[in-house]
Amino acid sequence: MSDNISRLFADYVAAVDYADLAPEVAREVKRRVLDSFGVALAAFDSDTARAARALAFDAPIPNGATILGTPQRTTPDLAAFANGALVRYLDYNDTYLSLEPLHPSDVIPALLALAETRHASGRALITAIALAYEIGVNLCDAASLRAHKWDHVNYIAIMVAAGAAKLLNLNRAQTEHALSIATVPHAAMRQTRAGELSMWKGAAAANSSRNAIFAALLAEKGMAGPFQPFEGEMGFCELLTHAPFDRAKLASLENKDAPRRILDTYIKKYPVEYHAQSAVDAALEIHSQLRGAEIASVHIDTFKASYEIIAKDPEKWQPKTRETADHSIQYITLVALQDGEITDKSFDLARIRSPRTQEFLAKHTTLAEKADLTAGYPDGIPNTITVTLNDGRTLSQTVRYPRGHARNPMTDDEVIAKFATNVAGRLSPEKSRALRDAVWSLDACADAATLTELWMV
């Protein structure tokens, strides 16, 4: 049933071992797990969270996977969906940008749910996450999905299926079947991120993770998937990427190198779509220079991918939902300039629909795509913000590597501070410290299920 790509992934899953991981890679996995817990708990009361939890609550099972923030347990695939929707909801989890954009930590809640039900060790979980990142980041370099109107979460399904296969100790044939069952029946369309965005924007990756966990469990039970899922005449590469993967970009998988690509990905400083992270840094720097001066107009120069994803749609100029607002570089920039901060509260409906802000977006804000900025992407995330003041002065700022980018990484202390802010009011200080300490010592954890005991709100 195999093809060259499914065999490549299965061979890589079989080859990777915790002993091969560099200390900085294991450390980075732990930073992403901690970050994921924080952004998930911060989203606990969201409408998406409530809907996903309600479905998971309908399927209680003893000794199942814990539904984040609750004592309730369910099947690992439903827990992957409910918990994955939380990690993604605030648009605050990590990112990688290349031919295809990706939020690779979308895999973490799904793999944790499976690790919990199988009582896998912390080292096994770290290994599964690291290899999932390696596959996903390489795929983003190897082919674009967005260019052909498919969603990036199709790569999440591959990543989770591979990580799940590692946790379940599937053999190579079972791993290929898991990959096939995860991908062929579940192609996700880019319409999720076009025009006015809905709750599903934050749930699409969780759904791909759910499908992948279900696929791996089916493969473990003996289910065979469609033959040649990637290279077949109606397979993934024919329909979704419209060309074979660039095999040179999959070299670390071919060579069975120890995973390292997680080090190329970025932690978010602000709860906004990543292409706007540098715009926030630039706008906040300008805000610090205003000293009470009033803004007459704002101009944003950005790059092509940013323009296409978070600028061009008419809805981005007059956002009506949180999901649209945190994907509008115009709105994000203006709020950073007006408020001097970007937080979760920046996307409350009352703030989004502020008449002052909506009017300023419509009448006093302009935007252009610039070739020189496009040339600087994806190496950097270059945005230039120019503000004209009522007194005629102009202030301009360009940022290429926002804080948290692989070329401008956040320190451990900054990651911890972000986590502490996100869980404040959700976890007691004692629970917060206990969860943080458990994540930092994940490699010494004998049973990943002990982590979930610490995240009850």
Same domain, 265 and 278: no
Per-residue DSSP letter, 393: -
Same domain, 251 and 313: no
Q: If 0-12 CB within 10 Å is exposed, 13-18 middle and 19+ buried, where does residue 31 land?
A: buried
CATH of the domain at 369: 3.30.1330.120
Same domain, 348 and 239: no
Phi and psi angles of residue 397, each rounded to the nearest 5 degrees, phi first: -145, 135
Q: Is residue 439 part of a domain?
A: yes
Q: What is the model's pLDDT at position 455? A: 77
Same domain, 225 and 283: no
Q: Is residue 394 part of a domain?
A: yes
Q: How many CB atoms lie within 10 A of CB 375?
A: 12
Same domain, 279 and 264: no
Is the pLDDT score of 457 beyond 80? no
Residue type, 412: D
Q: Indicate the average pLDDT of the chain.
A: 96
Domains: count for the chain: 2
Q: Is residue 457 part of a domain?
A: no
Same domain, 248 and 153: yes
CATH of the domain at 105: 1.10.4100.10
Same domain, 115 and 180: yes
Is the pLDDT score of 80 beyond 80? yes
What residues make up the domain containing 433? Answer: 4-269+412-452
Same domain, 53 and 135: yes
* 24-35 tens-digit pLDDT: 999 999 999 999
* 365-408 tens-digit pLDDT: 999 999 999 999 999 999 999 999 999 999 999 999 999 999 99
Same domain, 387 and 317: yes
Q: What band does 452 get if pLDDT is binned at 50, 70 and 90?
A: confident
Q: Is residue 341 part of a domain?
A: yes
For the sheet with 383-389, list strands across it.
Answer: 365-369, 295-302, 383-389, 394-399
105 or 292, which is more confident = 105
The answer to whether 328 and 195 are in contact (CB under 8 A) is: no
Same domain, 57 and 188: yes
Per-residue DSSP letter, 341: -
Is the pLDDT score of 266 beyond 90? yes
Q: Is residue 150 part of a domain?
A: yes
Q: Is residue 404 part of a domain?
A: no
Same domain, 240 and 115: yes
